[in-house]
Amino acid sequence: MLNKVFLIGRLTRDPEIRFLPSGNQVTSFTLAVNRRYRTKNSEEWKEETYYFDVEAFSYLAERLGKQLNKGVQIVLEGHLRQDKWETPSGEKRSKIKVVAEKVNILSRPEKIEELEETSTEPEVIEEPEDLSSDEDIPF
């Protein structure tokens, strides 16, 4: 089975940062992704916008919380997760979210670019490999 998502879009709001009871950080934001297409019987181009709720955890959440803000364009690699719950009235609900694993910053809004030095290379932010491996211990 494969559960992999690649999206290019812009943040619709500043990231929201919170902490789990375990102390791990979670950063949440919404990503707007456009789809442009031509209808079959027409030369007319149409555009649709889709909105995805995204969450990042631990190290990646910390980095994204500091470096992203509304309007930033990113490439996101991640996977889908379905949250399920029951309402107080007993109705079952669910929602699909994207869990970020790797993020490349493509561009920033013009106002931010004027204040910061621009880089020719997109910045890559990703979750580090499992840090608890015994192979990394030097003795």
H-run or E-run covering 62: helix 58-67
Q: Where are the domains of the chain?
A: 5-131
Q: For the chain, how many residues are written?
A: 139
pLDDT, one tens digit per residue, over 34-88 is: 999 888 888 888 899 999 999 999 999 999 999 999 999 999 999 999 999 999 9
| Per-residue pLDDT at 44 | 85
| Maximum alpha-carbon separation in the chain | 69
| Per-residue pLDDT at 40 | 80
Please work out, in degrees rounded to the nearest 5, the angle formed at the alpha carbon of residue 76 by the alpha carbons of 73 and 81: 130
Does residue 5 or residue 113 have the better pLDDT? 5
What Å distances lie between residue 78 and 21, 60, 81, 117, 139, CA to CA? 24, 12, 10, 28, 34
Residue labelled with tokens 């609900």 = 93
Token pair listed for 94 = 């669910």
124 confidence band (pLDDT: 50, 70, 90)? low
Q: Does domain 5-131 have CATH number 3.40.640.10?
A: no
Q: DSSP letters along 108-135, please?
A: --HHHHHHS---SSPEEEEPPPPTT-GG
